[in-house]
Structure 1
Amino acid sequence: MFNKEILLQELTFKAVRSSGAGGQHVNKVASKVELQFDLLNTFVFNEEQKVRLKNKLQHRLTKDDILILQCDESRSQHKNKDLVIKRFLDLIENSLKVPKKRIPTRIPKAVIRKRLKNKRNLSEKKANRKKPDID
């Protein structure tokens, strides 16, 4: 499919300070990890795969076609880096999957006959509830 080792070498990481409440420690430690991936200048994917990724990830890409993912779930920068890499690889794999073409199923003739027979029976039952027409 694609070479993960080469793909991981093309990623750029930036460690920034996490937002939110914390304490003295959070103000001086950059534990949040930001991953950036340049989709246009990658050598891992061919043109067809790049187009597919661009279409699937269009709401996540910047104007320069750069994918940015962030993770600040853990207090550890290393854990956050591992988490964001795993998230990135899952996102790429899911975006490259080609969905199966749906083949519409045919309704068997026996099923159609059964449905029409039930409709006819129900209609006769309702017709029998009416008062007889005496003329």
Structure 2
Amino acid sequence: MTMGRDEVRVPFSELGFSFSRSSGAGGQNVNKVNTRVTLSFDVRNSPSLDEHRRQLILRRLGGRINRDGVLRISSDTYRTQGANKEEVVRRFYALLGTAFHEQRPRRKTRVPKRARERRLSAKKMRGHLKRQRNKKIIDRE
């Protein structure tokens, strides 16, 4: 399988699939058929990842990877095992895509002079309003 622009190739043989019964309502089908699919991918020992990409995955997807370095994704969205398997593979490659996506550095911009003036005048107006509420009226009798 190929991974978008970065061309990361993770062979299907490196992906482990396990099947179990889905939870929730569903009648006889949910009690008999193993439709939930769990994909497991050993990030630490994968020969298809170079060290840089391995570290990117471990850092950016660290919360989804267990102590043994295995990334697990499961799906029980659909009623069939095949559809859930496709969904899990799609989510796996989407996760890899987000892990490998490099953010472009932000270009520093300046706040326009007019916007700065508008903000400051609004603050001054607000302060003036509050000061007027606080004036003490002294009777001169």
TM-score, scaled relative to structure 1: 0.75
**Matched position secondary structure for 2:28:** coil
CA positional deviation for 1:46? 1.1
Within 5 A, what are the aligned runs for 1:107-126?
111=113, 115=117
Find out whether 1:23 has 2:27 as its counterpart. Answer: yes
Code of the aligned partner of 2:85: K
Structure 2, unmatched stretches of 5+, are: 1-5, 129-141
Equivalent residue, structure 1, for 2:83: 79
Question: C-alpha deviations, 1:4-42, integer Å up to 9, x for none?
Answer: 4x3433100011111112222221110110100000011
Decide whether the 8 Å contact of 1:17 with 1:27 is kept in 2: yes
Decide whether the 8 Å contact of 1:2 with 1:44 is kept in 2: no
What is the root-mean-square deviation in Å for CA atoms of aligned residues? Answer: 2.4
Q: Output the CA distance in 2 between the equivalents of 1:17 and 1:62.
A: 22
TM-score, scaled relative to structure 2: 0.72
CA positional deviation for 1:107? 5.1
Q: Output the CA distance in 1 between the equivalents of 2:77 and 2:46.
A: 28
**Matched position secondary structure for 2:29:** coil
Match of 2:37 among 23, 33, 37: 33
Equivalent residue, structure 2, for 1:105: 109
Code of the aligned partner of 1:23: G
Q: Output the CA distance in 2 between the equivalents of 1:78 and 1:62.
A: 26
Question: C-alpha deviations, 1:53-81, integer Å up to 9, x for none?
Answer: 11111111101111110000111100000
Structure 1, unmatched stretches of 5+, are: 127-135
Q: Output the CA distance in 1 between the equivalents of 2:25 and 2:111.
A: 60
Deviation >4 Å, runs of 4+: none
